[in-house]
Amino acid sequence: MLPHHDGSPLYVSSQEPALGDAVAVRLRVPHAWGAVDAVRTRSNPDHEPRFTDAVVVASADGWDWWEAPIHVENPVHGYRFLISRSDGRKVWVNATGLHEIETLDSEDFKLVTFPAPPAWVKDTVLYQVFPDRFARSAAADERPAPDWAIPADWSDPVDDVPPGRSQQFYGGDLDGVREHLDHLERLGATMVYLTPVFPGRSNHRYDASSFSQVDQLLGGDEALIRLVEAAHERGMRVIGDLTSNHCGDGHEWFTAAHGNPDAPESEFFYWLNDEHTEYVSWLGVPSLPKFNWSSAELRRRFIEGPDSVVGHWLAAPYGLDGWRIDVANMTGRYLDHDLNEEVRRTIRQTMLEVNPDTILLGESTNDASSDFQGDAWHGAMTYTNFTRPIWGWLSEPASESSYFGLPFGTIPLYDGEQFFAAHRQFAAGFPWRTRLGTMNALDTHDTPRFLTNAKAGVVPVAFGMSVTLPGIPVVFAGDEFGLTGVDGEASRTPLPWGEEHGASADSIALYSSLIGLRRTHSALNGGGMRWLHVSPDVLVYVREDADESILVVAAREAFDLTLPAGLVSRPGEDPTPLVGEGSLQDAESGIRLTGAGPSFTAWRLAGISLPAFA
């Protein structure tokens, strides 16, 4: 029973403010917390504090709703609340919670005036495809393996030891993806994310040799057109993957510049000798030379305007619906160079010019908040706010595990309170609408499969939280089949087609059911978010909007707890869970929740009825 605010429409009058706008913000304060004399907002425009007074605009169900105006004076306008209690205490409320000491500006709530993401971003369910391992069409049998490849049959085990690690070649192609869109549709996915489709000399294709064509091994440009058109016919979107930090050492730009200082492309890279034969590369890997974004010509060819690489593939006839940018956190950064902001803003500006109804996601493996304040990226492909905390809470002790490159090689184990603390501190760094576009991935092509080290029976808990917490739920192709893998390469397993109606049917049905929960409830697609109970083994939270509240219990052990009366909307008679088998009993003293564990249960309750913003 604590004061609460978030960036959702229950609490903020505009999700797309402009500079100079007056935006109303609301703070919800429970009567049970104690009497309140006054509430004020504290903003910090131009780094000079400014306060506005709040008034009570509604009082119902044991809560007062305080409202105050904020004049938006910076593109990222931070604000917090200051509560003056009747007992004389002063309490700050920011994105990390309640504090009795002054707080950091970086932890403020944020209003963002940059162009807003498409409305559909908050409703997205993402399915990630690694093309070489997803499916082979009949046409793939007619293409000879390239000279760099180690050919493999579809049933062969993944070879995660070099050179097979990057050269083992199964021959999946884009027509294979298109031929299995019915599987994605049944699952409930709304967007397909393709890892790179440009030619390279590896199975992952992050070492692009060109950005001007789709790899012929995948079916070429025409196969991409067929896939996007077929996806669009089903109401799905398709996004591509660009390496803005580097290309491959076989890329046409690099081969023109290597050993040739007079080549126009020479300025595209960082050279370590006058002969231009030694160069900077991604993490010292020679096959991945790093781009130097000081080059105006590189920007013109790659990211500026409709004719650039970024613009070309978004336009007809290809029609991609956006980009995931690889190694976005390192892009444009080297020694005393930091052009990251310029590059990301230019990419987004090009997308706005070509098709504003597109999404831009950026990879940032650690604390992403400094780069993700709404100026370009709509969301982060990151691991700090969801993936690593959920692994910590729901994994078995492992003597050895590939854990995101951390040197100790094992998974740090968390209890529920530690999960909550880790999740909150990293999610709080994002503006609300960036948080809605950030990926809630259990795993990706760069990590072990979640199931590899998961406690027995916790997949419904983990994926249930992925679909119900703010953010974009993610299925890495094969998760729904129950695949495992000890590291990023070993997890890139060919999909076992034929098992979807056999050994994997129950797992696929689970994923489909939880995705269906997400897609059919408005509160899970942009609604507010309140934590109600945090303990070592049980987490309880609610997503709320004007139409409904979705009460969620995620438990790794059996539970029996009572929420105080008034904490959430009354459930009415005989509440039926939307998913799961937990029990909810409504009583005068509160709402009693019981159930076995591990388990994931959600109920639908009444929405939040409030006066409209003026």
Q: Which residues pair with 379 in a beta bridge?
A: 361
Alpha helical stretches, state H, 373-438: 387-394, 416-427, 432-436
C-beta separation of 443 from 449 below 8 A? yes
For residue 432, which phi and psi values (nearest 5 degrees)? -55, -45
Catalytic residue numbers, as ranges: 326, 363
C-beta separation of 409 from 397 below 8 A? no
- The DSSP result for 358-373, as a single string, is -EEEEE-SS--GGG-S
354: helix, coil or strand? helix
548: helix, coil or strand? strand
Q: How far is CA 385 from CA 41, 50, 396, 456, in A?
A: 27, 30, 20, 23
What tokens appear for 394 in the block?
């729901």
User: Which among 339, 573, 436 is positioned nearest to 112, based on CA atoms?
Assistant: 436
CA distance linking residue 506 with residue 511, whole number of Å: 9
User: Which among 435, 431, 543, 449 is positioned nearest to 489, based on CA atoms?
Assistant: 449
Classify the C-alpha dihedral 440-444-448-454 as positive or negative: positive
CA distance linking residue 461 with residue 554, whole number of Å: 6
β 63-71/22-30 pair status: antiparallel
Q: Which residues contact 304 (CB under 8 A, 6 or more apart)?
A: 346, 350
298-303's contacts with Cβ under 8 Å and 24+ in sequence apart are 298/253, 298/267, 298/268, 299/343, 299/346, 301/253, 302/211, 302/244, 303/244, 303/343, 303/346, 303/347, 303/350
CA distance linking residue 221 with residue 313, whole number of Å: 10
CA distance linking residue 348 with residue 341, whole number of Å: 11
401: helix, coil or strand? coil
314: left (phi over 0), alpha (psi -120 to 50) or beta: alpha
C-beta separation of 310 from 243 below 8 A? no
What's the CA angle centered on 189, arms 185 and 191, to 5 degrees? 115
User: Which among 536, 534, 532, 531 is positioned nearest to 556, based on CA atoms?
Assistant: 536
CA distance linking residue 594 with residue 572, whole number of Å: 17
- The DSSP result for 236-250, as a single string, is -EEEEEEESSB--TT
